A and B are shown apart, each in its own frame.
Chain A
Amino acid sequence: MNSKISAFQFYSILLLSRILITLTYTPKYTEGITASDKIFQTLFRFIFGIIITLPVFLLNNKNESELQNKNGVFQKIKAVIFSAVFFYFSVTTVARLDLFAGTVMFPETDVKFLLLLVIVFCAYGAYLGIEPIARSAVMFVIPVLLSLAFICLSLVKKVDLLNLTPLFYNGVFPVVKTSLSAVGRTVEYAVIAASLPFVKGNSKKGFFIWLTLQTVITAAVFFFEGTCLGAFSNMQLFPVYTIASMAQFSFFRGLGAIITGVWILCAFLKISLLIFLQSKLLSEGFGIKRITVTVVSAVLLAVVCLFISGNVSRFNAVDSSLVKFILIMISVPALALAELIVKRVKKCVRQ
């Protein structure tokens, strides 16, 4: 990433990426906790988010980044691990989009063609580079936030506070467990770890604003989902889409189409970013042409996603919270700590 992007642009991409996850979450991730606990667990996520990224920020402070060795073996290992993580998350993102299109939008149509279309367009976005992705994210972020606010406002009439339950109704442990699992599903921490050296501006401040905003948005979405749907939300495949479909504003009867639009925009940017990062890391680490990696990555993604397409059991097998948790825990704090230790040791040896 020779060309740097601003912290505002970078966190705009990450915010859209997080909004996508919030909008597309399925109740299986929050099994065992009640509506009120779902809202409260966003605070735990906030704290875990800070803890998990602390080594990354320590690694990228001025004193440490001076010692960065771009061509070392460690960087190659990092490139491979991060690329694998990004590939895995791009597979799950596309697969979830496929699940949505195949079950909600076009239940009677084969959506494989659309799936391929998404991958081709995203590969094109990745080929264009980080700057266009970042600029697009800035342009999308305001309309997306406004759309969400609009949907939330139009849901106010449907809110029933009686659907809320006392906090920690099923105990504290399930809340902590789902929070940790949610952090594990957050590929954005890995994106931060991989691309922070190439972001100009105040990344720490940006990180806190991003984390706070995404916490607020997630809490708001959980609040409306819990209060509008109650226990019924656990029976929905995509509860956020369901509440959006219930929303009414003036003569508009359902706002599901807006959620679809937001979903596609966010997914497009997220998949483009993940493919771009894979190509960038591997091309820098191993000297392969970026376009070659982009094409190979897109083809692999298409093959895997076509294999999963239309089969919910395959999707469930691939979309494993445990695998994601392990991957994120390795790629974010473990790698950062290992690199930090290597650097400190090198520094000591030099002195």
Chain B
Amino acid sequence: MVINVKNWYRKKIDEITAPIKSDDEKTPVKPTVAENFKYLKSKLTPSFDVKYRKSEVDGITFGFVMLDGMCDNELITEQLIIPIMRGIYETADGEKVLEAAADLISGSIDKSIQYELNTSIREMLSGSLLMFVEGSERAVLFGVQKFPKRSISEPDSETQERGSKEGFSESFKDNVALLRRKIRTPVLKTEILEVGATSKTRVCIVYLSDRVNEKTLESVKKKIKNASFDVCLGSGYLEPFLGTEKMSLFSGVGSTERPDVLTAKLSEGKIGIITDGTPYALFVPHIFTEYFHSLDDYLKKPYYAVSIRLLKIAAFFVGIFLPGIYVAICTFHQEVIPETMIFDICLQESFVPLPVMIEALIMHMVFEIVKEAGLRMPKSIGNAVSIVGALVIGDAAVSAGLVAAPMLIIIGLTAISSFVIPSLYDVSSLLRAILIIVGGISGFYGIMLVFATVIINMAAVAPYGIPFTSPLSPTKSGAWRDSVFRADWRILGTKRLQTDRLDK
């Protein structure tokens, strides 16, 4: 029966999907420019932005193919076309002419000899100029890219008080350059892989070869190579492949928008993954306590950093538990709070026609709707939505007796707390909703049960052999100097953390 249901569902999926195919066919470069152009046109037509040009110099035919809008036209004219056209070629042999022409080009322009047309097309589509020479079975690619891109700006999601204002951008080369600027050492290695059968998105693996765990590195490469999808539009596509295989709320893959944060992670022996076209870099392995770290912690006095970290942990728990606990107290455990307070709450709640659990759930949902609307709308309208939402929900709903004022305070406090660690927002939002329901049905009994299950779920995550809950459990007291606590730089600076030693 179960098998039949599976087959039925598979058939339903097959009806509306197609298998992912990668065009990995190898076609050698043809000896004539016309044949090469013909092949390229068969693959690329219709594409108005692909430009084909033929030029003759001393009876030798040169063919150029480029993508309009992706190349630097000035650079092509001045540094490529003019030198090639003015060149003196003492032979008619295509191979020798191709080499001679390539040698005429300034060393500042990337050059690569190609034997295969499909790879050449792929590179040309990313902004390189492709050159053929009559009689040669090779082609040359010149790195003359110049395409519209966002300049390096301050990261939106990881703003720091005293840290650098640079954030990753969509260009992965710029992102690698930002890293290079921060770590000027030959041990910083960068390896490029391709993902996405159709998109052929470039993924750059960065690591420090003197401290990375070889097994982890191989595993990361293998996972990226085995990642199967058609188009990769962001680093988030890779996250499920790189994270834990167990079903968990937590993935064990970190993400950052800041080059300085990634630099710090690399220095601990972690591996960075930069995906072309996305300003977020991933890093593995990632542990739970890292969610509560920020660059500012290291730029301020340790006592202040510790207090901020403790505050963040408290905010995280408030963001998850507060509404559930409030519902549980109102429904089952009135004895735990002072009489005067419970009388006030009871009085306010008595005017509300809904049970506390439903009231909390509705408020939670309304808040999420306002948040989503504010996020997706244009900024000017988004602000208006937030204000209207706050006014309607805050004032009018309480006046109308639809919501109790204490509930409003609880939801407001929870919302603000959950924004303290934006990267954990999804988890805290989901858990909050679950705990409201559980708190309303079974009080502390259910809340503790869900809490215990979440903890064990978290403890089961161990990407690349590093438990997600380390250094708390398994206890690695040596790493406590920079986990919840943060020691002074005079202590921290003497030795660096080696991530692979946080294992079982």
Contacts from A to B (Cβ < 8 Å): 3, 6, 8-9, 101, 105-106, 114, 117-118, 121, 124-125, 128-129, 131-140, 245, 251-257, 260-261, 264-265, 268-269, 272
- Report the separation of the CA atoms of residues A124 and B452 in the bound assembly, to the nearest whole angstrom: 11
Contacts of A253 on B, CB cut-off 8 Å?
335-339
* CB-based nearest B residue for A109: B442
In the docked arrangement, what's the CA distance between A261 and B474, Å?
23
Q: Are B453 and A6 in contact (CB under 8 A)?
A: no
Contacts of A121 in B (CB 8 A): 449-450, 452-453
Q: Which residues of B contact A105 (CB under 8 A)?
A: 332, 443, 445
**Residues of chain B contacted by A138 (CB below 8 angstroms):** 472-475
Inter-chain contact B473/A114, CB cutoff 8 Å: no
Asked whether, in the complex, the Cβ of A131 is within 8 Å of the Cβ of B504, the reply is: yes
A118 touches B467 (CB 8 A): no
A-B contact pairs, 12 of them (CB 8 A): A3-B504, A105-B443, A105-B445, A117-B442, A118-B449, A135-B459, A135-B469, A136-B455, A255-B336, A257-B336, A260-B443, A264-B445
Interface residues of B in 412-462 (CB under 8 A from A): 442-453, 455-457, 459-460, 462
Smallest beta-carbon distance A304→chain B, Å: 20
Closest to A259 in B: B444
Report the 6 A-B pairs with minimum CB-CB distance, sorted nearest first.
A138-B473, A135-B459, A264-B448, A132-B460, A132-B459, A268-B452
A253 and B475 alpha carbons, distance in the complex (Å): 35
B473 touches A135 (CB 8 A): yes
B462 and A245 contact, CB distance less than 8 A: no
Judge whether B446 and A114 touch: CB under 8 Å: yes
Which B residues lie within 8 Å of A135 (CB)? 459, 467, 469, 473-474
A98 to B457, CA, bound (A): 24
Docked complex Cα distance between A256 and B336 (Å) = 8
Q: Are B336 and A132 in contact (CB under 8 A)?
A: no
B335, A131: Cβ atoms closer than 8 Å: no
Tell whether A139 pairs with B472 under 8 Å between CB atoms, given A128-B457, A253-B336.
Answer: yes
Main secondary structure of the interface of B (DSSP, over half): helix
Contact between A128 and B460, CB atoms less than 8 A apart: yes
Are A139 and B459 touching (Cβ within 8 A)? yes
* A131 partner, pick from B332, B447, B462, beta carbons under 8 A: B462
B-chain residues with CB within 8 Å of residue A260 when the two chains form the complex: 443-445, 448
Q: Is B333 an interface residue (CB 8 A)?
A: yes
Pairwise interchain contact A261-B448, C-beta atoms closer than 8 A = yes
Contact A114 B453 (CB under 8 A): no
Contact in complex: B335, A136 (CB < 8 Å): no
Q: B108 to chain A: closest CB distance in Å?
A: 54
Closest approach, in angstroms, between the C-beta of A141 and any C-beta of chain B? 9
Q: Is B246 engaged at the interface, CB distance under 8 Å to the other chain?
A: yes
Chain B positions 213 through 256: 1 when the CB is less than 8 Å from some CB of chain A, otherwise 0 = 00000000000000000000000000000000010000000000
Q: Which residues of A contact B459 (CB under 8 A)?
A: 128, 131-133, 135-136, 139
The answer for the CA separation of A114 and B448 in the assembled complex, in Å, is 12
Query: Nearest residue in A to B462 (C-beta to C-beta)?
Result: A131
